[in-house]
């Protein structure tokens, strides 16, 4: 019999907890992200009804990026762009070139951008991109062709009011300039606002290059102050000496901290008397390996985690602090410069051991804050001084950290959970207010 009533009989349908394309998502960065979302739900009341919107990205694209190599041969790479959530504004997030990057990792990185932009209250959502390539094995001209083809392939996904890429691991100002140029050629007009982290000559913001590392030092200062301590005299160990780790190390040293250990992809060194970050940057910039840095002692990579220090700054890749090394860490504070450097298990071990973890979504938010400034400056066709950029960065981050610290203290929860509670409340409140279309 045909049911002619205007309202159909409804039957409860359970939404599967995970979308099918995720596969076994219990491990890896996406698994870590999901577990972090789960920890928030008891704290956000009726908004938890929207939690599934955080457990599945809004949209993504996987593209083939073919390359004609300099020697005439052909190569193919997988590229990704993920919009995790855009409830509060356009997607925002970096582009990573790495041989191990994959869709699940880019989803997690996009998810952390959703949380990060909300935690510091920027009018953006979360996005991320990646190309599965090891740039060390390709010429500059080849990387330019890969970047331009990738940009064209994901062209439908990006735009100044839609999704604004920025630098991440192994991408920099030059890559942003290629993206800006390719996008502009494809749409037929110069569109500097499609990326941030551009060269200053193309509308980039003063202070953007150092912003993430600078932000790490602002957040460290605020955390140490609340513990009655000071950056001066703090012994710091840094994993990753690139944009984030290298800049943070230099600024920490300028404020009187001592850099006692550094690890990068080429090895690990220690020097209890203090490693000069400026000299190390010159050494690495000249193509030398880290373990030949004069005056410092090379150590095994595994032993880096057990170095005697006060503050550990992971500023390389995800999932570096694991159950295997968390028991050896001697720092009293872990400042997450990298995205997702601490696994779920390691986080519990660090908490049990009384080690304070300052989560990535606050610790490394300096970059996206100054990216926001860049986007605003481009929109108003007006450039701010570097002092103005740094002062505004300092204020926004210090205020955001104060809110997270208060939330953690009042609810007696970890700083990460507190940051997620604040961010998820803002994101899901926006979701709730917008309602569902149709
Ligand atoms: P980068 O490419 O400039 O530097 C990466 C550093 O990590 C290099 O020193 C490299 O030698 C080191 N490294 C790579 N693999 C390693 C390994 N297996 N062991 C030890 N060291 C290794 O990248 P970046 O921009 O400084 O980004 C570092 C981290 O910070 C990433 O997790 C990124 O997502 C995060 N982050 C970056 C920004 C930004 O503005 N650049 C903003 C927020 C978060």
Instruction: Give the DSSP letter of residue 178.
Output: H
> Using one digit for the tens of pLDDT, what is the confidence trace for 79-94?
999 999 999 999 999 9
Do 234 and 184 fall within a single domain? no
% pLDDT > 70, the chain: 94
According to the model, what pLDDT value does residue 31 have?
87
* Sheet strands side by side (includes 267-270): 297-299, 267-270, 258-264, 235-239, 311-314, 333-335, 356-358
Domain that holds residue 296: 211-363
> Using one digit for the tens of pLDDT, what is the confidence trace for 213-230?
999 999 999 999 999 999
* Nearest residue to 160 (alpha-carbon basis) of 128, 136, 124: 124
Pocket test of ligand 1: the residue of 168, 210, 277, 322 to mutate, having most ligand atoms within 8 Å of its CB, is 168
β-strand pairing of 235-239 with 258-264: parallel
Do 170 and 215 fall within a single domain? no
Do 181 and 258 fall within a single domain? no
Q: Which residue has the tokens 């030092």?
A: 217
Specify if 47 maps to a domain: no
Specify if 169 maps to a domain: yes
Q: Is the CB of residue 364 below 6 angstroms from any atom belonging to ligand 1?
A: yes
Do 224 and 159 fall within a single domain? no
Q: Token digits for 245? A: 């780790």
Local confidence band at 276 (pLDDT 50, 70, 90 cut-offs): very high
Atom of ligand 1 nearest to the CA of 167: 41
Q: Is the CB of residue 244 below 6 angstroms from any atom belonging to ligand 1?
A: yes
Residue 128 a catalytic site member: yes
Checking if the pLDDT of 207 tops 80, the result is yes
**DSSP states of 399-420 as a string?**
HHHHHHHHHHHHHT--HHHHHH
Q: How much is the mean pLDDT over the chain?
A: 95
CA of 295 to the centre of ligand 1 (A): 25
Do 88 and 122 fall within a single domain? yes
Q: Which residue has the tokens 């491990």?
A: 27
Instruction: Give the DSSP letter of residue 304.
Output: G
Do 151 and 243 fall within a single domain? no
Q: Is the CB of residue 212 below 6 angstroms from any atom belonging to ligand 1?
A: yes
Q: Is 418 exposed, middle or buried (0-12, 13-18, 19+ CB in 10 A)?
A: buried
**CB proximity list for 398: less than 8 A, separation 6 or greater:** 218, 222
Do 76 and 177 fall within a single domain? yes
* Sheet strands side by side (includes 163-167): 59-68, 74-85, 126-131, 91-97, 163-167
According to the model, what pLDDT value does residue 29 have?
86
CA of 49 to the centre of ligand 1 (A): 35
Q: 71-100 b/e with 16+ CB inside 10 Å = b?
A: eeeeeebebbbbbbbbbbbbbbbbbbbbee
CA separation, residue 151 to residues 81, 82, 200 (Å): 10, 13, 21
Domains held by the chain: number: 2
Do 185 and 216 fall within a single domain? no
**DSSP states of 23-86 as a string?**
-STTSHHHHHHHHHHHHHGGGSGGGGGGTHHHHS-SEEEEEEEEEE-TTS-EEEEEEEEEEEE-
Backbone φ and ψ for 319, nearest 5 degrees, come out as 55, 40
CATH of the domain at 183: 3.40.50.10860
β-strand pairing of 258-264 with 163-167: unpaired
Specify if 4 maps to a domain: no
Do 232 and 144 fall within a single domain? no
Q: Is the CB of residue 239 below 6 angstroms from any atom belonging to ligand 1?
A: yes
Specify if 392 maps to a domain: no
CA distance 28 to 196: 28
According to the model, what pLDDT value does residue 4 have?
56
According to the model, what pLDDT value does residue 16 have?
67
Rounded to an integer, the average pLDDT of 271-288 is 98
Checking if the pLDDT of 7 tops 70, the result is no
Checking if the pLDDT of 3 tops 60, the result is no
Specify if 193 maps to a domain: yes
Measured by CA distance, the residue closest to atom 43 of ligand 1 is: 364
Do 72 and 163 fall within a single domain? yes
According to the model, what pLDDT value does residue 198 have?
97
CATH of the domain at 301: 3.40.50.720
> Using one digit for the tens of pLDDT, what is the confidence trace for 122-171?
999 999 999 999 999 999 999 999 999 999 999 999 999 999 999 999 99
Do 70 and 126 fall within a single domain? yes
Checking if the pLDDT of 112 tops 80, the result is yes
Specify if 49 maps to a domain: no
């Amino acid at each position: 019999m045909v049911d002619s009533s205007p309202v159909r009989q409804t039957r409860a349908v359970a939404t599967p907890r995970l979308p099918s394309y995720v596969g076994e998502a219990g491990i890896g960065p996406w698994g870590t992200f999901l577990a972090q979302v789960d920890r928030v739900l008891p704290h956000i009341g009726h908004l938890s009804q929207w939690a599934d919107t955080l457990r599945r990205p809004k949209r993504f694209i996987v593209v083939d990026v073919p390359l004609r190599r300099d020697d005439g041969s052909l190569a193919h790479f997988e590229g990704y762009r993920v919009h995790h959530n855009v409830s509060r504004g356009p997607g925002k997030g970096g582009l990573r070139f790495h041989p191990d990057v994959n869709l699940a990792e880019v989803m997690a990185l996009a998810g952390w951008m959703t949380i990060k932009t909300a935690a510091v209250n920027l009018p953006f959502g979360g996005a991320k991109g990646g190309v599965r390539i090891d740039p060390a094995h390709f010429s500059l001209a080849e990387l330019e062709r890969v970047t331009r083809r990738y940009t064209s392939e994901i062209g439908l996904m990006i735009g100044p009011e839609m999704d604004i890429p920025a630098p991440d691991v192994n991408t920099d100002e030059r890559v942003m300039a290629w993206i800006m140029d390719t996008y502009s050629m494809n749409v037929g007009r110069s569109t500097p606002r499609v990326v941030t982290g551009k060269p200053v000559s193309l509308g980039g913001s003063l202070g953007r290059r150092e912003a993430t590392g600078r932000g790490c030092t602002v957040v460290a200062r605020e955390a140490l102050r609340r513990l009655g301590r000071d950056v001066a005299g703090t012994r710091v160990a840094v994993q990753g000496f690139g944009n984030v780790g290298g800049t943070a190390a230099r600024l920490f040293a300028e404020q009187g901290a001592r850099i006692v250990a550094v690890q990068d992809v080429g090895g690990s060194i220690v020097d209890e008397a203090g490693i000069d970050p400026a000299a190390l940057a010159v050494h690495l910039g000249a193509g030398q390996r880290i373990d030949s840095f004069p005056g410092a002692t090379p150590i095994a990579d595994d032993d880096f985690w057990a170095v005697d220090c006060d503050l550990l700054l992971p500023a390389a890749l995800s999932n570096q602090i694991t159950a295997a090394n968390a028991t050896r860490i001697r720092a009293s504070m872990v400042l997450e410069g990298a995205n997702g450097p601490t696994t779920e298990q390691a986080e519990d071990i660090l908490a049990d051991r009384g080690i304070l973890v300052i989560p990535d979504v606050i610790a490394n938010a300096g970059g996206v804050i100054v990216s926001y400034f860049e986007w605003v400056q481009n929109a108003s066709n007006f450039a701010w001084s570097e002092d103005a950029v740094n002062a505004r960065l300092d204020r926004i981050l210090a205020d955001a950290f104060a809110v997270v610290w208060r939330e953690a203290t009042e609810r007696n929860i970890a700083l990460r959970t507190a940051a997620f509670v604040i961010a998820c409340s803002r994101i899901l409140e926006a979701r709730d207010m917008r309602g569902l279309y149709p």
